[in-house]
Amino acid sequence: MIVLKKQNVKNREWFHCCLGKMRKWESWEAETRTLEYQFSNDPRRFLLIHQTSFARRHLRFWSEHRFLRWPACFLRQFYASVSKVDYFTLRHGFITAHFSEGSNFDFQKYIKRTLEKDFGVVVGISLWVWILSMLFIFLNAHGFYNYLWLPFIPLLMLLLVGTQLQGIITRMCLESREKSQVVRGTFLVRPSDHFFWFGWPKLLLHIMHFILFQNSFQLAFFTWTWYKFGFRSCFHRKTEDIVIRLAMGVLVQVLCGYVTLPLYALVTQMGTSMKKVIFPEKVVEGLKRWRANARRNIALKNNYTSARPSLDNNTTSINTSPSFGASPSFNLNTSHCVKFDQPSSSEYLAVEVKDEGKANSANRETKDS
């Protein structure tokens, strides 16, 4: 447990190194809101594809040949792994694919939220992480000579991931060139999952998790055995063991924090779908509250509907549909009706005439008096 805590501390170190490297992206993002940038990337301007900075950077003689492209991408990750033109082009492709063209979406803050979310996955502990920990301790026994090969595994995998990420940018450039030779405004790349291994961008996150865990665990285990048993112990009998472990551990941490991780944070946004952190935390909390209230209202409505009495079981049916020329009709069950004797219409007339006569005579008497 102590070793795993030290491992998390080392993982936080490379995370802060990556954020320090990505700090200059804030100025790049602010530049996209200037008039100069909007004028140079006006959609009403048309350019040939080889006249753009992005195409001149990635469309070279080695771009179309796989066996030449991989060595070139391998070397490119060590100098200017993320250039300004790459950031602008991938940002434009992401916004065009998921928002309206010309949107003021803050791409840099979105990348930062995504990296913070992925950091929670990297420092997490799962079952396969425990299995790898036990396997590492088992291979640390005398006779395996693990200091000659085990410290190099994270380094080789990290270089492979960096080469793949650079290759994805070049392949997106090649695909855009095949679709059109004319650029309107800014070079447009189209995000897609098929650029990634097995069409699964999240696979790179698990590989990065393995690399950082393996390297950090080796450094943490070396520090713990040094503190517990001394510098010269049965765990480190040879000088080359100590030198290789420390050199490879520091190299992987620096290379990951300053080179591979910023490149990973940018290129993995080029998948087909967006990530959940596209919305800020306040917006997500508001949407969750709205969803909970909507579910509660629907449940109350369903309960009210099921509790209403059914009119089909009543013995009295009332027809309230309006009809022209007739009054509303009421149909009563005849078994519950009571019949009354009604006088004829002639009796009503006699009463009316008699009443009228009495009224006329009363009026005459008042006039005579």
The model's pLDDT over 65-93, given as tens digits with 9 standing for 90+, comes to 888 899 999 988 888 778 889 999 999 88
Q: What is the pLDDT of residue 46?
A: 83
Predicted confidence (pLDDT) at residue 160 exceeds the cutoff of 90: yes
Q: What is the pLDDT of residue 277?
A: 75
Band the pLDDT of 117: cuts 50, 70, 90.
confident
Predicted confidence (pLDDT) at residue 37 exceeds the cutoff of 80: yes
* pLDDT (mean) for 146-155: 82
Out of 20-29, 87-96, 102-111, 345-354, give the one with best mean pLDDT. Answer: 87-96
Q: How much is the mean pLDDT over the chain?
A: 75
Q: DSSP character for 275? A: -
Q: What is the pLDDT of residue 349?
A: 39
Rounded to two decimals, what is the model's pTM?
0.71
Band the pLDDT of 324: cuts 50, 70, 90.
very low
Q: DSSP character for 226? A: H
Give the rounded percent of residues in the chain with a pLDDT score beyond 90.
Answer: 7
- Region of 57 please: left (phi>0), alpha (psi -120 to 50) or beta: alpha
Which residue stretches of the chain are H helix?
Answer: 2-21, 25-31, 35-40, 53-58, 66-76, 84-98, 107-122, 127-139, 152-179, 202-229, 239-255, 261-267, 281-307, 345-368
